[in-house]
Structure 1
Amino acid sequence: MIRTLAIGLTALALAAPAATADAAEPTKIVLLAGRPSHGPGDHEFNAGIKLLAKCLAEAPGVEPVVVTGGWPEDDSVFDGAKALIFYMDGGGGHPAIQGDHLQRLQKLVDKGVGLGFMHYAVEVPKGIPGNKFIDWIGGHYETYFSTNPHWTARFESLPDHPITRGVKPFAIKDEWYYNIRFRPDMEGVTPILTATPDDATRDTPHTSPGGPYKHIQEAKGRPEVLAWVVERPDGGRGYGFTGGHNHVNWGDPNFRKLNLNAILWTAGLEVPEGGVECEVSAEDLKKNLDPK
């Protein structure tokens, strides 16, 4: 079933129990949505996470648990989880790096819990937070090194990986981050989505902080990794995905399926041969939007 946990509130049922393949205990996956951010239709973390949870609840043997409002007041909600998926504002205010949260996450990582970070949640300051993300998921967005223009990424081919099962080549406009600070020589990092920004994208001043950046311009013609995975020595898995600015993009079946597959994979589950199937209507996309 889907459970939701708002900050300071107890869990409540949002949907009927999902069918399970057998009587085995379902795999618990905690999906964390950040606080309202940006204008209507952008950074709709609450609506996006609940949409993904709806789809995951339809997958056999999966128990998605939704946390809204950022980091839970009682992180016992993480007990027994096989993966945590973060979709929220990042940077210096990232909920995952406040107080002792990095240390708490490290304890979960040491137990083999998978971690996934989507869009702004892949951004943390360099130094201790950045180094943790490099260890956990292979890389992170680094201010003034990475960049964040809005552009249409064209994924003309996809690697042979469980996360790409059932996903067809596609193109979609989003705030795709690139020039991610990865491990040296991409050690242990498997690219999942790769696209080449055009020259206008590299030259645009419309980034935050404002561009263009010389080192970004000098790399014209280079393909960029926009989603990636790692398998850690502790047995856990990590996933980074830089898209997700525009809520409407969750309506794209390939964009959606790739992330649903990635969530299952990050939790150590087998991804179905055709990928995670889930129908999403225009009405579904309008549900749970933040009042902005």
Structure 2
Amino acid sequence: MINKPSGTVGDGSKGSSRRNFIKTTTGFVAAGAAVPQKDVRSGDSIDSPKRVLIVVGPSGHPPGTHEVAAGGRLMKHSLEHMENLPGVQTDVVEGWPSKTSRDSASTIVFIGDLFPPNRLPNPQQNLIDLDEMMGRGVGIVCIHYATGLLGKDVKPDGDHPLLRWMGGYFANRSCPHHESFARVFPKATIAPAEPGHPIARGWNEFTLRDEPYFNNYFGGDGNEQASSVTAIATSMLPPEAPKPETVAWCTERSDGGRGFAVVMPHYYKNWRDEDLRRLILNGIVWSAKIEVPSGGVATQTPNLADFDPQAV
């Protein structure tokens, strides 16, 4: 069941499947462990590069689902090997990032079971650090369950900084104000909702077995999306009573920053889907204020085993 607090990330001890990946990154530490976190940083090869900071939070999901550490490494590899958008540098951190990493980031990407700043040690300070980044116009992106908040994370009316930073969130069933829903659908069809938006470039409607969250929370007035929030992808959910549900969205904030959320993939194997992967990478690039190529971000289909998942 997905609506539960997370555990810890596995130790990723399967060294043999990482041989290819080691060419692009270094080791990592368990999220939230009482040891210094490590930043995985690219070499400085261009002047004033855009830098993406990926933060991997804790996860207690079984192998093949979430795979947040492997997902973080896969995103790093994909961003650094975009065929039509070179020069983007990426850092991957398990645990809370250092001030140096935060200060150099153009956007910060979260992947984990629930919103990592609230699950990692010192959540109050984490949110203060994040607020400082947002105030400078840094982007923010949440992948799948990293969009999620527990009832204890939010005020009784549902307020949380993530609502302003990203435009909405997945409200865990423990929330007092709203309940979002998580179900695995054998065939969920994801369709572009705003074809003219840069994030929509180069990907088409696709269908996959996954867990796109629905009835996500966007605000107090009838759960209507704010004028600054744009639905990027929708799905007709649930099948027994279908209506258009927003499963990816973005916002342009008054501080000049940008937020993007996508409530997939639940299954690690779905990173192979070119349309889903392009949707996600487009969103990250856009959040960093990089012009999305006219045909969307182009990458080779990754070999998922290279990024040391517990299972594919």
2:182 corresponding residue in structure 1? 148
1:288 matches 2:308: yes
1:176 corresponding residue in structure 2? 212
2:143 corresponding residue in structure 1? 118
* Structure 2 CA distance for aligned equivalents of residues 25 and 157 of structure 1: 33
The answer for unaligned runs of 5 or more in structure 2 is 1-22, 30-35, 174-178
2:272 corresponding residue in structure 1? 251
Q: Which amino acid is the alignment partner of residue 163 of structure 1?
A: I
1:6 matches 2:28: yes
1:215 corresponding residue in structure 2? none
* Structure 2 CA distance for aligned equivalents of residues 116 and 96 of structure 1: 20
Q: CA deviation at 1:11?
A: 4.1
- Per mean C-alpha deviation after superposition, the further-off stretch among 251-260 and 182-191 is 182-191
Q: Is the 8 A contact 2:214 2:247 kept in 1?
A: yes
Runs of 4+ with >6 A deviation:
none
Q: Is the 8 A contact 1:123 1:140 kept in 2?
A: yes
1:239 corresponding residue in structure 2? 260
- Per mean C-alpha deviation after superposition, the further-off stretch among 124-133 and 259-268 is 124-133
The answer for unaligned runs of 5 or more in structure 1 is 201-219
2:76 corresponding residue in structure 1? 53
The count of corresponding residues between Structure 1 and Structure 2 is: 265
Q: CA deviation at 1:75?
A: 3.9
Q: CA deviation at 1:130?
A: 4.5
* Structure 2 CA distance for aligned equivalents of residues 162 and 193 of structure 1: 12
1:241-262 Cα deviation digits (max 9, x unpaired): 1112100000000010110110
2:235 corresponding residue in structure 1? 195
TM-score when normalising by structure 1: 0.82
1:102 corresponding residue in structure 2? 127
Match of 2:52 among 11, 19, 29: 29
- Per mean C-alpha deviation after superposition, the further-off stretch among 91-100 and 107-116 is 91-100
2:19 corresponding residue in structure 1? none
* Structure 2 CA distance for aligned equivalents of residues 80 and 96 of structure 1: 22
CA distance change for structure 1 residues 136 and 266 in 2, over 3 Å: closer, same or farther?
Answer: same
Q: CA deviation at 1:76?
A: 2.8
Q: CA deviation at 1:3?
A: 5.5
Q: CA deviation at 1:102?
A: 1.0
Q: Is the 8 A contact 1:46 1:290 kept in 2?
A: no
Match of 1:66 among 85, 92, 105: 92
Q: CA deviation at 1:174?
A: 1.0
After superposition, the CA RMSD in angstroms is 2.7
Q: Is the 8 A contact 1:31 1:49 kept in 2?
A: yes
* Structure 2 CA distance for aligned equivalents of residues 10 and 155 of structure 1: 36
SS in 2 for 1:190: strand
1:186 corresponding residue in structure 2? 225
Identity of aligned residues (%): 30
2:296 corresponding residue in structure 1? 275
Q: CA deviation at 1:91?
A: 6.4
1:18-53 Cα deviation digits (max 9, x unpaired): 9x7xx4321111011223421111110111111111
* Structure 1 CA distance for aligned equivalents of residues 135 and 26 of structure 2: 26
* Structure 2 CA distance for aligned equivalents of residues 82 and 222 of structure 1: 35
2:6 corresponding residue in structure 1? none
- Per mean C-alpha deviation after superposition, the further-off stretch among 232-241 and 120-129 is 120-129
* Structure 2 CA distance for aligned equivalents of residues 275 and 190 of structure 1: 18
* Structure 1 CA distance for aligned equivalents of residues 277 and 66 of structure 2: 15
1:67-112 Cα deviation digits (max 9, x unpaired): 12x323x343211211000001116963398231111110110000
